Amino acid sequence: FSSRLNIHQIRGQHSTIIHYSLPGSKTGSKVKLDIFDLKGSLLRSLSGFVAGTVNNVSWDEKDSAGKLVNNGTYILRLTSANINLSERFTIIR
């Protein structure tokens, strides 16, 4: 079983859904999702616990100050136990 990370923007709703799959042995582990701009600045951190092999998190497309991020390309980094995944994605309004 391989870990996967998929990101889907729901246009017109200021919402991006982050889907991630981790091995069942990671259930209950802490997970951290960090969103960066292309300059490497951390815009927002989301954290929680792995509920099962397939998980979904909704991001409101806001930075840590509560401002909507601009159109552009961003990087999502997922960290959980010894798993590190990253994916580029684009916000278009």
Q: How is the chain split into domains, by residue range?
A: 4-91
CATH for 4-91, options being 3.40.50.11540, 3.40.190.10, 2.60.40.4070, 3.30.70.270: 2.60.40.4070
Neighbour count for residue 29 (Cβ, 10 Å): 14
User: In this predicted structure, what is the pLDDT of residue 24?
Assistant: 81
User: In this predicted structure, what is the pLDDT of residue 1?
Assistant: 64
User: In this predicted structure, what is the pLDDT of residue 44?
Assistant: 99
* CB 74 within 8 Å of CB 91: yes
Counting as low any pLDDT under 70, the low residues of the chain are: 1
The length of the chain is 93
- Residue pointed to by tokens 């982050």: 18
User: In this predicted structure, what is the pLDDT of residue 87?
Assistant: 98
User: In this predicted structure, what is the pLDDT of residue 43?
Assistant: 99
| Nearest Cα to Cα of residue 19 among 62, 54, 61, 51 | 54
